Structure 1
Amino acid sequence: MNEAIAARPTRDAWVGEIRSTLGLSWPLILTNVAQTGMTATDVLMLGRLGPDAVAASALGANLYFFFLIFGIGVMSATSALVAAERGRKPHSVKMVRRTVRQGIWAALCIAIPCWIVLWNGESVLLMLGQEPHLAAAAGGYLRFLQWSMLPFLLYLTFRSYMAAMERPAWAMMAVFIGLGVNALANWVLIFGNWGFPAMGLRGSGLATLSATILMASILVVVLTTDRRFRRYRLFGRLWRADWPRFKAFWGIGLPIGLTVIFEVSIFNAAVMLMGIIGPDALAAHAVAIQIASLTFMVPLGIAQAATVRVGRAFGSRDRHGVTVAGWTGLALGVGFMVFTAILMLAAPRLLIGAFLDLSLPANAAVAQTATLFLAFAALFQVADGAQVVGAGMLRGLHDTRVPMLYAALGYWGIGLPLGAVMAFPLGFGGAGVWAGLASGLTVVAALMLWRWSRRDALGLTAGLR
């Protein structure tokens, strides 16, 4: 009995893990916020060109992001693999270098077929039934935007590597510089300032391309000059094939990419359902989901940190370290979402007022519906935080395939069908869609946490001390 008690994690271990997780999380959180800020900047600038420009950019960006989110998931395998390797052997160089190199290869493998599809973006959008003049404008926009796929995926690979090295501040600095450059380039290229030609929508695509190239370039410079990074010689002999590591990279990254698609696509489907219900429901949904998306950046950053912290303990075969790192990340992520849920319930008009002028009578119906949607958002805040951190914890154990199936079941097997049934046959409208989203997130969260709590019995921690 005394030996069992002595083997339990100490109070100092928990306090130390909280500090480590918070120290790693906050740069990742700010990085995520800045990345979403680039999209917001594009919309803000293009809004001055008129509604057609905004609509065309939305069509092009949605097509682009459908492929990009898959790449974002795949690239996150870098942090899981590097963290585990550093846990196994803190001063490992060769295996870390092999992992990052295969991340670069994977980025190229994703980008090339995406370029082919996006180059024909106008035809794709026409096949999807979009208005010809909007499809044409979006196609021109994509012919510039599409090239940012590779530099952005490379930036994500380097960012994941730096996070696994527990030095994420450089990536945060790069994305904030990119955010500023994107805003300036949009102003110059869209409207033709400083003597440049007014390129309109295409100028926005070129601005994003310029910003992403700069972001990736900054990290390349850091990785080749910083004393603690350059010893890994990440870019030496990039052409050398490493099929075993390439297979291992995709073995973890592919399920993560599909998981992200399952999650993001259900929210895209919800937009389509709201469009069927009516314009007020669609506008209210846009406001409520924007608020929920912003709060989601915090548990997302904590989940990314949890992957690294659990991965380090997993690589060092430290069973208690895995336990402490995982539960710490979950407590921090869910704790924050409990706070935001209370805020959404207590002061919905304060939040909605940041997006709508509540003094205008024309916005009254939208504001009222958005308040209802925020109540549902409050219900799924805890579940949303739990599912994303739960997935991050399991990724630290290199467990990605079963969580992918959980996501498919929860989002598309339960959440979307339930939302559609409640919205239309049962007549609950937009509230029914949100109830379906909340149900899907809750199911996924419950399954993720069940798997985490049963990790020893399921053999996910076999061989740990």
Structure 2
Amino acid sequence: MLLLAWPMVLTNLGQTAMTTTDVIMVGRLGAEAIAAATLGTSLYFLPTIFGIGLVLATSPMVARELGRNRFAVRETRRTVRQGLWLAIAYALPAWIFLWNAESIFLLMGLAPKLAGDAGSYVRAVMWATLPFHCYLVLRSFISALERPGWALIVVAGAVVFNVGANWALIFGHFGFPALGLPGSAWATTLSSTLMFVGLALVVAFRRPFRRYSIFGRFWRSDWPRFVALLKLGLPIAAILTFEVSIFNAAAFLMGLLGTAPLAAHAIAIQIASVTFMVPMGLGQAATVRVGLAFGAEDTDGVTRAGWTAFVLGVGFMTVAALVMILAPTLLISAFLDLDAPENQVVVELAIVFLAIAGLFQIMDGAQAVGSGMLRGLQDTTVPMIFAAIGYWGIGLPLGVLLGFKLDMGGTGIWIGLLAGLGVVAVLLVWRWTRRDRFKPPPLPDGGAPISLH
């Protein structure tokens, strides 16, 4: 599990590093540019997160096919091909939505200049949607073959490229025109394209991927498989959307409380997002390992793979929680000058938020890995319902009640997030323990459904 998961964890961190690079580079243009880029990125991520969920369905489907028959070249090729078709089909409505970004910002009541700057950013970064989702399909394919290291190599190259592209296109170096804020967006688009092209070359020419001829007869349809991917992917997309949107809502609520709570929240959530990459990677590895065992009808293998990933993920997050609780100022010092008088209120709030974030980490790790375990069994619809209940039925209303009605401020909002994640984590683990009682989806080629009994 660790051999499969560590490249996935580092790949996730590499993708996060690209976003961090963009923020650092845009920061040199001033506060207004950062504000416009933040707004543009937030809007861009709305359809992107949903699309990620759609194409993530490729991984458990391929793992199940390979678990059932490790020589399932034809079935694997068709699944990956339809995953790419799904990415292409989804890009069209996503582009239409993002092309109208400036109008959307104006409808939200933003100042015309800020809306215009953010809109110009989105019109450049929107073209990254297609190559990024196609890259994720190929990454799911090589991960199902338990060869995730190639994705790490490609992302590492893209991170370096992204730094140079930002430097060249924002500020006009290396003979390129100085595009300012849109230059960073074009750097993201070019980096995403590089990731897809790089991984496509690996898949086309490197062993053991080339024998699958993923791009051969690309125009051949397989509508039953396309529909199966869609049915599996839509609930995953909804789960990710519920999770991401509640954190966006929490940031908005913090903004209503003032600058200091929002700044402290940003620090705490940034620290939590870095450590989250570990259980996220373990969840992805669990999807593959559980899926392979599931396809092979190896009940004991399913159990071992799932609980191994769960213990590793929750164990890591427990250690991270102890660091947050016992050494909060060490972590906060990476973001703020602790001795500056103007930062004292933010530091005090961040210490409180990090203490809650410690417990939050454990629950977040449990739900991330638990969701990956169930994805390996192609069980996504019920977890989607759990996510809706936990995040929006319990977490957000409780945060609003505690934060505003009971005057607990940002602490109340964080308690709401903790409660929502806790409910989802408990429900997912409960679902996993009852995995032999639900009926798996039929195979897209009409084969007999697999039993966990």
TM-score band w.r.t. shorter chain: over 0.9
Measure the CA separation in 2 of the matches of 1:119 and 1:462: 44
Aligned residue number for residue 86 of structure 2: 106
Aligned residue number for residue 195 of structure 1: 175
Aligned residue number for residue 445 of structure 2: none
Aligned residue number for residue 66 of structure 2: 86
Contact 1:53–1:201 under 8 Å retained in 2: yes
Distance 1:389 1:120, change over 3 A: same
Which of the numbers 148, 170, 175 marks the counterpart of 2:150? Answer: 170
1:229 equivalenced with 2:188 (yes/no): no
Aligned residue number for residue 280 of structure 2: 300
Measure the CA separation in 1 of the matches of 2:437 and 2:220: 40
Measure the CA separation in 2 of the matches of 1:336 and 1:248: 34
- Unaligned stretches of 5+ residues in structure 2: 441-448
Aligned residue number for residue 299 of structure 2: 319
Measure the CA separation in 1 of the matches of 2:84 and 2:54: 11
Measure the CA separation in 1 of the matches of 2:69 and 2:111: 56
In the TM superposition, residue 127 of structure 1 has moved relative to its aligned partner by: 1.1
Letter in 2 for 1:247: V
Contact 2:279–2:368 under 8 Å retained in 1: yes
In the TM superposition, residue 74 of structure 1 has moved relative to its aligned partner by: 1.3
Measure the CA separation in 2 of the matches of 1:353 and 1:131: 34
Residues 238-257 of structure 1 correspond to what in structure 2 (within 5 A)?
A: 238-257=218-237
Letter in 2 for 1:456: D
Q: Pick which of 135-144 and 297-306 moved more.
A: 135-144
Write out the 4+ residue segments of structure 1 that deviate beyond 4 Å after TM superposition: 459-462
Measure the CA separation in 1 of the matches of 2:451 and 2:232: 19
Aligned residue number for residue 120 of structure 2: 140
Measure the CA separation in 2 of the matches of 1:362 and 1:59: 26
Letter in 2 for 1:463: S
- What whole-Å deviation, never above 9, does each CA across 1:224-261 have from its counterpart, x for those lacking one? 11121111111112122211000110111110011000
Residues 449-464 of structure 1 correspond to what in structure 2 (within 5 A)?
A: 449-459=429-439, 463-464=451-452
In the TM superposition, residue 272 of structure 1 has moved relative to its aligned partner by: 0.5
Structure 1 length as normaliser, TM-score?
0.94
Measure the CA separation in 1 of the matches of 2:36 and 2:395: 29
1:258 equivalenced with 2:246 (yes/no): no
| Percent identical residues | 57
Aligned residue number for residue 41 of structure 1: 21
Aligned residue pairs, count: 445
Structure 2 length as normaliser, TM-score?
0.97
Contact 1:56–1:135 under 8 Å retained in 2: yes
Letter in 2 for 1:442: G
Aligned residue number for residue 13 of structure 1: none
Measure the CA separation in 2 of the matches of 1:186 and 1:73: 28
Residues 52-63 of structure 1 correspond to what in structure 2 (within 5 A)?
A: 52-63=32-43
Contact 1:456–1:462 under 8 Å retained in 2: no
Aligned residue number for residue 5 of structure 2: 25
Aligned residue number for residue 350 of structure 2: 370
Aligned residue number for residue 413 of structure 1: 393
In the TM superposition, residue 462 of structure 1 has moved relative to its aligned partner by: 6.1
- Unaligned stretches of 5+ residues in structure 1: 1-20
- What whole-Å deviation, never above 9, does each CA across 1:105-142 have from its counterpart, x for those lacking one? 11011111111111111001111222211110011111
Contact 2:62–2:144 under 8 Å retained in 1: yes
Letter in 1 for 2:4: L
Which of the numbers 259, 264, 282 marks the counterpart of 1:284? Answer: 264
Aligned residue number for residue 359 of structure 2: 379
Measure the CA separation in 1 of the matches of 2:412 and 2:312: 30
Contact 2:436–2:452 under 8 Å retained in 1: no
Contact 1:358–1:367 under 8 Å retained in 2: yes
In the TM superposition, residue 401 of structure 1 has moved relative to its aligned partner by: 0.2
Measure the CA separation in 1 of the matches of 2:110 and 2:53: 28
Contact 2:297–2:450 under 8 Å retained in 1: no
Measure the CA separation in 1 of the matches of 2:120 and 2:325: 43
Aligned residue number for residue 440 of structure 1: 420
Aligned residue number for residue 17 of structure 1: none
In the TM superposition, residue 459 of structure 1 has moved relative to its aligned partner by: 4.4
Q: Pick which of 446-455 and 119-128 moved more.
A: 119-128
Letter in 2 for 1:214: L
